[in-house]
Structure 1
Amino acid sequence: MAVAVTLVRMKIAILRHSAKGQRGGMMTSGGILGLLLAGGTIFLAFQGGDWLAAAYAVWMLGWIIGPVFSGGDETLRPEFFSLVGLPAPRLAAGLLVSAFVGVAPVISLIALAGLVAAAAPGNALVAVPAMVLQLAIFVLLSKVAVAVLGIALRSRVGAIGAGLINGAVLAFLGQAWVFAVTFGQGGQIPAFVRYLPSGWGLLAVRGEYLALLSMAVLIVLLLAAWAALLARRTGASRPSTRGRRPMRAATAREAVVAKELRTWSRDLVRNYQLTFALAYGVFFAGAPLALGITGMLPLAGPIFIMMASAMTANSYGTDGTAHWLTLMTPGASDVRGRQLAWLLAVGPVALALAVAFTLAVDGPWPLVLAATFALLGGGAGMVPLISVYGLVPGTDPRSRSGNPLRTSEDDGAMTGVVYLTLFLVALTAAPAVLVTSLFGWWGVVAGAVTGVLCYWGLGLLASRRLAARGPELLQLMRTGRRPESGSSLFKMPELSKTEQTIAMICWSFGAIPLVPQGVLAAVFVSTGRLRMSWFLATYMPPGLRWPTAALMILLGLTMYGVGLWIPYRARKRAASAKAATVQGLNHTA
């Protein structure tokens, strides 16, 4: 109990100090969204059937998948206590108690209040222990999933397997409408949902009290598994002692290419990222096959390129202070070498996907080839550009913790990098897609030209930025503190709580109306093969479907515009205040 109390007090103190500034705005916006989702979940408790069980299954999946992609809650790392001498079960129990402190557990507990509304007559009191046990299962499943993935990322086979599984799961979540239509026809939820661990609390409040015992047993088993995984995590890692072939590069650029290709093949985090992007592209494009829709399958290659760009857009921040080797090498062309290595790692896979899947469904060749060529050049140019302008300080590979997914402490900035990269890389393919829709095969030429221009022009901007700001970027990688005179794409000015919340909501959710409800809805409306889905445009009368899709695209672009305008206005306001202060000092002098 003393250990648990101490860890809880530490967690509260850390959260209290970190709730200021940009992270506080993120917590506020996340809390508001969580309350809305919790309210919707409680509303389902009054609908009858298995809707509440399905909602809790989604919450459980969110607890498992969310921390896997964000690196998990590392406020209190197990490594911090490795020298204290606590037994692994005791440390795991203390960390479990402290894990209940935070915004996410509180929001989940509110959502679990739906058990009270769904309880059978006379079973309202059973809902209280059921809520606590259900939340403990959610938290422990999250901890075990992150710990298992961390262990898996210590081997190449494990990293590839984890990337495949996580990419497939996230793709299926993104295409949830397919499975809602496939399995939920007639408004019925599959009966097996209520027997998942997420539904045991609901079974308990409906009179099946053995479910409470099952929940307690599962908690004990998960706690024991987590304790065993913690013991492995805090143990010493064993470096590879296998011999390596020497590099035989004749120029500095060839040396960078060779170094990058070896990093792509040996760095387990990059193995995971590339495999994740591949699995996401294939499964996201292939999911509509369950409804007999083949139109998205040829897009697997372009989707893979976009996701690979987003996953690797912070390449300099991930590599850390190893960049000093390049800075100390006269004439080294680091950006061009990274671009070429990125193309060699991503390009063959993307072209193979595009050709194979387009051949399988017999077209549309011009659109797929144009988008693929444009996105390859756009990704190769945008990745280093975003990395040097919006670098997020990360943990040096040599200093990574037992959780390899935790490559950066600034989750908000990393989220912004991912969303911005997805948007900008997709934007590079817009001219080629437009030319294809108007002139057919000429779009392929436009895509190739666009890709070459993006590769050369964006790479040139990144090279100049790196040459001008190389020492400052190295200082940022080493200390995590940006020089006062430096500028950054993601350097946020002082914003009020309201401005932070609005900006984070716009950046986090602008993609929903823009891509699925806008762009994809327009594609499906144009084909006329999808009558009903979760796209709002498909429920509108025929004359209003296109205007609805266009309105959603406009709404998404507006949200991104507001997200950019708020910090821009704050910068102008801060600059004006600074100028007024300087003018006042000069006048006084």
Structure 2
Amino acid sequence: MAVAATMVQMKIAILRHSIRGPRGSMMASAGSLGVLLAAGTIYLAFLEGDWLAVALAAWMLGWIVGPIFSGGDETLRPEYFSLLGLGPGRLATGLLAAAFAGLAPVISLLALAALVVAGARDGVVAALVAVPAMVLQVAVFVLLSKVTVAALGIALGSRLGAIGTGVLNGFILALLGQSWVIAVAFGQGGQIPEFVRYLPSGWGLLAVQGDYLALAAMAVLIVLLLAAWAALLTRRAGANRRSARGRRPMRAGTARQAVMAKELRTWTRDLVRNHQITFALAYGVFFAATPLLLGIPAMLPLAGPIFIAMSAAMTANSYGVDGTAHWLTLMTPGASDVRGRQLAWLVAVGPLAVLVTVAFTLAAGGPWPLVLAAMCALLGGGAGMVPLVSVYGLIPGIDPRNRGGNPLRTTEDEGSITGMAYLMLLLVALTAAPAVVAAVLFGWWGVPIGIVTGVLWYWGLGLLAERRLAAQGPELLQLMRTGRPPEGGTSAWKMPKMSKTHEVIVMLCWSFGAIPLIPQGILAAVFVSNGQLRHSWFLATYMPPGLRWPTAILMMLIGLAAMGTGAWLYMRAKQREKEPELPPVYD
């Protein structure tokens, strides 16, 4: 108990000192969203049927999937306590206790108050049973998350494991993105499968409804998960092993070829890179293929473009992930590795993108001009945006040689990495806009326009990144080495000073603006144009004929307005930071 109490105090102290600045704003935004979701969950407890069981299953899935992409909560890492001689059981118990000291468990506990509401409808006894059921249920959520992240971290210690987890993660996230397909596939959203009630997420609800053995089942599951986590923590301690395989020498005639060879070797040998590109490919394929469950092949041609955009988003912080290895470039007079990185990115992503795009478009029967134009523009845009965003918005990463037992965590600031990924998705998509518009208006003329714009994005954005790297190289190295910008400088990605209200507005606009823009706007317009009506939550498909297109266009405008509002507030605050402070005036 003393170990657990000490770890809880450490976690609270760290959180208390981290609620200032951008991270505090991120926590406030996440907390606001969590409270809204918790309120929605409690509301479902008043409805008839198994909607509450579905909501609890979604919470459990969020606990499992969310940490996979963020690296999990590692405020207290197991490595910190490796020299204390703690047994695996005591270490796991202490870390579990500390895991409850955080925003996510509190929000989940608030959502699980729905069990009390559901129990109160059946009487006082059921309401009293809901109290221990809440505690046990949130413990199950936390432990499932910890075991999943620990298992995947160990799996990423091998190339096969990295590829397998990439496919699994891409599949899960694609299904979440296409949840409307699953809802329609299960009886037009009106029938809930019986098995949902018997998932571990529903055991607390079963206990409230009179099946008291579910409480005992949760207690047993917690013990088993705790034992599994303790065993995985022991494996994690010895997870870092150096490969004894021989290395073929790299031969290159120019500096650019040397950078390209180094980057390609990294793409093939860095297990995190293996995981990233496999995830991007799996996400694109499964996202586009999921509507086939309903006999809808219209989204198949999107697999290649989605793969390209997701690959760019996953590698947006390429310089930050490489860490202090940047000093090699600085110590080579006249060297700049931007072009070499661009070529390596194209070699790693391009052939797969072409293969997937052609194969899936052939299966769907077109539209060829639109897809080929978008693919060419996106390849050039992605190759240009990756180094540009990386050098202008660099987020200090963990040196590959210093990565802990959790390879999923490549930086200490995972919230900023997530924001950078969303921004990259938007920016890369915008690079394809001219080619897509040309293909829609002029057919096959869009393809050469896509090629030309792709080349221009590749050359122009790469040139900007090259100049930034040459002018700010020492400052970027200082930022990567210490995690802090040089004295008097600021990080291009750091949230500028603004009021708490504006910070929350910016985060909400950037987080939710994509919902009306992409699914309710762009995707709904695709369904309306193909005559596919009355699809799950796509509002435009339910409107009368004369209002379908206006509704889809309105949703696009709302999404653009939300994201534009967030960008305007951000840029205005950024500009104010640059303005010199006026000296005080004395009477």
Question: Does the CA contact (< 8 Å) of 1:370 and 1:433 recur in 2?
Answer: yes
Instruction: State the alpha-carbon separation in 2 of the partners of residues 422 and 161 from structure 1.
Output: 24
Q: List alignment gaps of at least 5 residues for structure 2.
A: none
Amino acid at match of 2:344: A
Deviation at 1:502, TM superposition (A): 1.1
Q: 1:186 & 1:507 partners in 2: Cα distance?
A: 29
Q: Deviations over 1:155-206 (max 9, x none)?
A: 1000000000000100000000000111143611100100100011111111
Query: What is residue 493 of structure 1 aligned with on the other side?
Result: 496
**Is 1:428–2:427 an aligned residue pair?**
no
Q: Secondary structure at the match of 1:502?
A: helix
What do the CA deviations read for 1:202-251 (whole angstroms, capped 9, x no partner)?
A: 11111111111111111000000000011111236220011111011111
Q: Is the 8 A contact 1:184 1:190 kept in 2?
A: no
Q: Output the CA distance in 2 between the equivalents of 1:438 and 1:565.
A: 31
1: CA distance between counterparts of 2:134 and 2:581? 56
User: Is contact 2:189–2:536 with CA below 8 Å preserved after alignment?
Assistant: no
TM-score where L is the length of structure 1: 0.97
Q: Residue in 1 aligned with 2:249?
A: 246
Q: 2:358 is aligned with what amino acid?
A: V
Deviations 1:63-85 (A, max 9, x none): 00001100000111111000011
Letter in 2 for 1:454: W
Over aligned residues, Cα RMSD in angstroms? 1.4
Match of 2:541 in 1: 538
Q: Specify whether residues 358 and 54 from structure 1 end up closer, same or farther in structure 2 by C-alpha distance, changes over 3 A only.
A: same
Secondary structure at 1:220's aligned position in 2?
helix
How far the C-alpha of 1:517 sits from its partner, in A, is 1.1
Counterpart-to-counterpart distance in 2, 1:493 and 1:477: 20
Cα distance, 1:483 vs structure 2:
2.0
1:289 aligns with 2:292: yes
Q: Could you tell me which residue of structure 1 aligns to residue 465 of structure 2?
A: 462
Alignment counterpart, residue 478 of structure 2, candidates 462, 475, 478 = 475
Tell me what 1:275 maps to: 278
The SS at the match of 1:185 is coil
> Which shifted more, 460-469 or 555-564?
555-564
- What CA distance in whole angstroms lies between the structure 1 residues aligned with 2:161 and 2:314? 18
- Please give the alpha-carbon distance, in whole angstroms, between the structure 1 residues aligned to 2:533 and 2:353: 27
Question: How many Å separate the matches in 1 of 2:163 and 2:436?
Answer: 33
Q: Which residue of 2 aligns with 1:33?
A: 33
Deviates more, 1:11-20 or 1:330-339: 330-339
State, as a whole percentage, how many aligned pairs show the same letter.
74
Counterpart of 1:6 in structure 2 is: 6
Cα gap change, 1:489/1:552 in structure 2, threshold over 3 Å: closer, same or farther?
A: farther
Write the deviation string for residues 294-350 of structure 1: whole angstroms up to 9, x where unpaired: 010011000000000000010000000111111212333300000000000000000
Cα distance in 2 for partners of 1:323, 1:265 equals: 20
Is 1:183 matched up with 2:186? yes
The 8 Å contact of residues 71 and 146 in structure 1, kept in 2 or not, is answered as yes
**Larger mean Cα displacement after TM superposition, 476-485 or 79-88:** 476-485
- Give the residue type in structure 1 aligned to 2:231: A
- CA distance in structure 1 between the aligned counterparts of 2:189 and 2:133, rounded to whole angstroms: 30
Structure 2 CA distance for partners of 1:424 and 1:245, relative to 1, 3 Å: same
Name the SS for the 1:123 alignment partner: helix
Q: Residues 92-171 of structure 1 correspond to what in structure 2 (within 5 A)?
A: 92-119=92-119, 120-121=122-123, 122-171=125-174
Contact 1:377 1:455 in 2 (8 A): yes
Task: Give distance in 1, aligned partners of 2:574 and 2:62.
Answer: 36
Q: Report the residue type matching 1:410 in the other structure.
A: D
Shift of 1:123: 1.5
> What is the count of residue pairs matched by the alignment?
584
Deviation for aligned residue 1:575: 4.2
For residues 504-542 of structure 1, what are the alpha-carbon distances to aligned partners after superposition, in whole Å with 9 as ceiling and x for unaligned? 111122111111111111111111123232112122222
Pair 1:262–1:416, CA change in 2 (3 A): same
Distance (Å, rounded) in 1 between the aligned partners of 2:110 and 2:414? 25
1:310–1:419 contact (8 Å) kept in structure 2: yes
Q: Supply the distance in 2 between the matched residues of 1:507 and 1:436 (Cα, whole angstroms).
A: 29
Query: Which whole-Å CA distance do the structure 2 matches of 1:575 and 1:487 have between them?
Result: 10
CA distance in 2 between counterparts of 1:236 and 1:223 reads 20
Q: Which moved more, 1:457-466 or 1:409-418?
A: 409-418
Q: 2:576 and 2:522 mapped to 1: Cα distance?
A: 35
Alpha-carbon offset, residue 488 of structure 1: 4.3
Aligned to 2:376: 373
Q: State the distance in 2 between where 1:505 and 1:289 align.
A: 33
Q: Deviations over 1:550-576 (max 9, x none)?
A: 111111111211212223222343444
Alignment map for 1:248-267 (pairs within 5 Å): 248-267=251-270
What is the TM-score of this pair, normalised by structure 2? 0.97
Name the CA distance, whole Å, in 2 between partners of 1:186 and 1:487.
49
